[in-house]
Chains A and B, each alone.
Chain A
């Protein structure tokens, strides 16, 4: 009897350890803000993301300094004056899928993710809908967009520049996640 418990327990823990991870080494994240004077747009491909399908946990991490602007001066101001990227190095999201993936190959599903969005050192509880699609090679494509009100993250705009910068920034993402047993 003890032997049976022993065996069953070993079996159970090994299942729990072999989690179903999907991890993205890269992807595209873009932010865009429309303002009367000029549109502001920046892109990065330096995105780390992971989904644990067993626990429904999701995490995304982006180094702020990796965002590239068309105008280098704008990029400098973004880092120095708005995001203070020496102090707040990364933007992150940590949350949970509201349901398990349960995707067949070629199938697409919209799943809401809830969690903490941290930008400029300020965390906000957010819900974002992600479109997930399982490809033929079992990889996962995650696409979505959401808006960030920059005042919510304590990012200040001086009155002199008010016309130049929108109060709401649209963020779009496109991640390719590969299946992995362990990270």
Chain B
């Protein structure tokens, strides 16, 4: 075979180019090849908040499966109560709670508040999760929360047909959150509170409200948090105020310390959404903290 034709002269160099590139292909970056074979990361946003609470409000976070969270929440007295009460530190209300992750998306909890000697029980579940991957994205995480509270305070004033249903109250909310960056997370939550017992000034047994919350991480383990709950005008009891709080989260391994200033003394929804008695502008501010300690009860 003699490659003398015009076509042959053109084909031969082309052949060399192709075979040389095949040779080069053998030296191709192995790491890049491996990258293509990796399973795709589902791309869920994690740790939108450090804790299951922003401050008073529930965050979208739930406990992981088998994790028990022992929470001690504390609100001192009002800062404007003067030096005689050591600016509120002489008094305190407390909520002790045990909360547990049944699955990675469903948690339950029980708590006892010293304020009005109230027991509460709740369930909280992740409905949808923020994610971003090759197949698309979902911009927010959505968590549902419902609780029931019962006050056990001995009360001579109220006599309601010999039964104690008036002691019960309920809260429901959908929490919608987005982790915008690794540092900034914001959430908004439509809330419904139903109180069986109407108080003076209540327009209804129900209070509809919208909760807002957010955090900005200052370092990997410290963040500044704030939450605000706006009661819809048709349901506002003018004797109470909208709850507003700000504070700091400090995470140290299994603990999260939340230190904050708030105008709410209660630590469950039926207390701080519809029964916040302090007014920031008047100096009715409570200093408070939440301590969360998680224990792993079940091995994976």
Interface residues of A (CB under 8 A from B): 2-3, 6, 9-10, 13, 16-17, 19, 25, 46, 48-50, 52, 54-55, 57-61, 63, 65, 68, 70-73, 76-77, 79-81, 84, 86-87, 89-90, 92, 94, 158, 160-161, 164, 183
Contact = CB atoms under 8 A, between A and B. Distances in A.
B239 interface: no
A90 B128 CA distance: 26
Given A61-B35, A76-B46, A80-B182, 18 more contacts: A2-B2, A3-B1, A13-B23, A17-B23, A48-B38, A59-B34, A63-B38, A63-B39, A63-B41, A70-B300, A72-B66, A72-B296, A80-B220, A81-B220, A86-B182, A89-B41, A90-B35, A183-B33
Contacts of A81: 220-221, 251
Contacts of A54: 26
Nearest to B40: A63
Given A55-B26, A94-B30, A161 B47 contact: no
21 contacts: A2-B1, A10-B19, A17-B23, A49-B34, A70-B296, A70-B299, A70-B300, A72-B296, A73-B64, A73-B67, A73-B254, A73-B294, A77-B251, A79-B46, A80-B46, A86-B182, A87-B182, A90-B38, A94-B31, A158-B220, A183-B37
B102 to A, nearest CB: 13
Contacts of A73: 64, 67, 254, 294, 296
Contacts of A63: 38-39, 41
B84 interface: no
Given A71-B296, A81-B221, A160-B252, A50 B30 contact: yes
Interface of B: 1-3, 12, 16, 19-20, 22-23, 25-27, 29-31, 33-35, 37-39, 41, 46-47, 64-67, 104, 182, 220-221, 251-254, 294, 296, 299-300
A50 B26 contact: no
Nearest to B30: A59
B30 A57 contact: yes
A4 to B, nearest CB: 10
- For A25, A50, A84, which residue has the most chain B Cβ atoms within 10 angstroms? A50
Contacts of A183: 30, 33, 37
Contacts, number: 101
A127 to B, nearest CB: 18
A76 B47 contact: yes
A161 B253 contact: yes
A55 B24 CA distance: 12
A58 B39 contact: no
B169 to A, nearest CB: 32
Nearest to B33: A183
Contacts of B38: 46, 48, 61, 63, 90
| Pairs of residues from A and B, 3 with the lowest C-beta to C-beta distance, nearest first | A59-B30, A72-B64, A13-B19
Contacts of B66: 72
Nearest to A69: B300
A70 B156 CA distance: 52
Contacts of A84: 182
Nearest to A156: B220
A163 B37 CA distance: 39
Nearest to B12: A6
A94 B37 CA distance: 16
A158 B46 contact: no
Contacts of A80: 46-47, 182, 220
Contacts of B182: 80, 84, 86-87
Contacts of A50: 30, 33-34
Contacts of A57: 27, 30
Nearest to A17: B22
A67 to B, nearest CB: 12
A61 B27 contact: no
A79 B181 CA distance: 15
A84 B217 CA distance: 14
A161 B1 CA distance: 78
A92 B31 CA distance: 8
A65 B41 contact: yes
Contacts of B64: 72-73, 76
